[in-house]
Amino acid sequence: MTIVIPNFRDPRALAERPAQPPEKIEFLASDDFPPFSFRDPQGRLTGFNVDLARAVCEELGASCSLRVKAFEALPDALMAGEGDAILSGLAKTEALRREMAFSDTYMRLPARFVLGQGTDSFDPNMPSAKRISVEAGSRHEAFLKAAFPGLAVEPFPTAGEARAALKEGKADVHFGDGMALSFWLASKEADGCCRFAPGPWLEPRYFGDGLSIALRRDDQALLDALNYALRQVQDKGIYGELYLRYFPVGFY
């Protein structure tokens, strides 16, 4: 199976090293955001974001530290000067955009279709009687109803029940969060029942703008440095190594 490494780098963006990169960067993050930042069995902070922070600092030749705060306390902590940047999947709301700047996107979390046994292929743009399980009231259900009103969508109370319906043959196709589905497909719970259909779905109105590093709006020098480092991490293949480490079943 070929795993696609996502690349959100704008090819038009310049990758010029800052003349005066920061000497140190203190990141703020929560420790309850697996697989991005969480505690391992020994209590050590680990995750994709943690290793990405190290890689960014290494590219800039900066010392790196990470202060853990409760997720809801992160914006106030940043504005109070308790750290330089937030690396914890903060949503880019209009309120936060008035106070903060955001780096280039380093990850987007797509929706995906998953096929059950007996379903060889599926194209939502083609007429189909296939039953599609989805979590009731979710953004995934809303997207399907708006984008493909002719599909046979069958909502279930939870995402877990919608996945179980696919495995048990009560549905032919499931639509849900790609990252969560990548871990489910690799789990004993799925037991090899199902597989991704081709293609991620990235409509930002439903699935968000992706993950970026947040920092204070007046810190343009740090923003430029972070964007440079993120591009270098991508171009040198370091991002791909981290992606394969934390997402062995890719969700792109």
3-state DSSP assignment of residue 135 = strand
What is the Cα–Cα distance from 171 to 158, expressed in whole angstroms? 14
What's the per-residue H, E or C state across 166-218?
HHCCCCCEEEEEHHHHHHHHCCCCCCCCCEECCCCECCHHHHCCCECCEEECC
Write down the domain spans for the chain. Answer: 24-108+209-246, 111-207
Domain 24-108+209-246 identical in fold to domain 111-207: yes
The torsion angles phi and psi of 207, rounded to 5 degrees, stand at -115, 10
Confidence bin at 12 (pLDDT 50/70/90):
confident
* Averaged confidence pLDDT in the chain: 95
pLDDT at 127: 81
Write down the residue that tokens 């590093």 correspond to: 213
Q: List, for residues 53-68, the tens digit of each pLDDT value.
A: 999 999 999 999 999 9
User: Taking the mean position of all CA atoms in its chain, how far away is CA 125?
Assistant: 25
111-207 belongs to CATH 3.40.190.10: yes
What is the Cα–Cα distance from 26 to 106, expressed in whole angstroms? 18
pLDDT at 246: 96
Share of the chain above pLDDT 70, in %: 98
What is the Cα–Cα distance from 112 to 239, expressed in whole angstroms? 22
Q: List, for residues 118-171, the tens digit of each pLDDT value.
A: 899 999 998 888 999 999 999 999 999 999 999 999 999 999 999 999 999 999
Q: List, for residues 164-223, the tens digit of each pLDDT value.
A: 999 999 999 999 999 999 999 999 999 999 999 999 999 999 999 999 999 999 999 999
Classify domain 24-108+209-246 at the CATH topology level: D-Maltodextrin-Binding Protein; domain 2 (3.40.190)
DSSP string across 51-103:
HHHHHHHHHHT-EEEEEE--GGGHHHHHHTTS-SEE-S-----HHHHHHEEE-
Structural element, H or E, at residue 144? helix 139-147
3-state DSSP assignment of residue 45 = strand
pLDDT at 14: 66
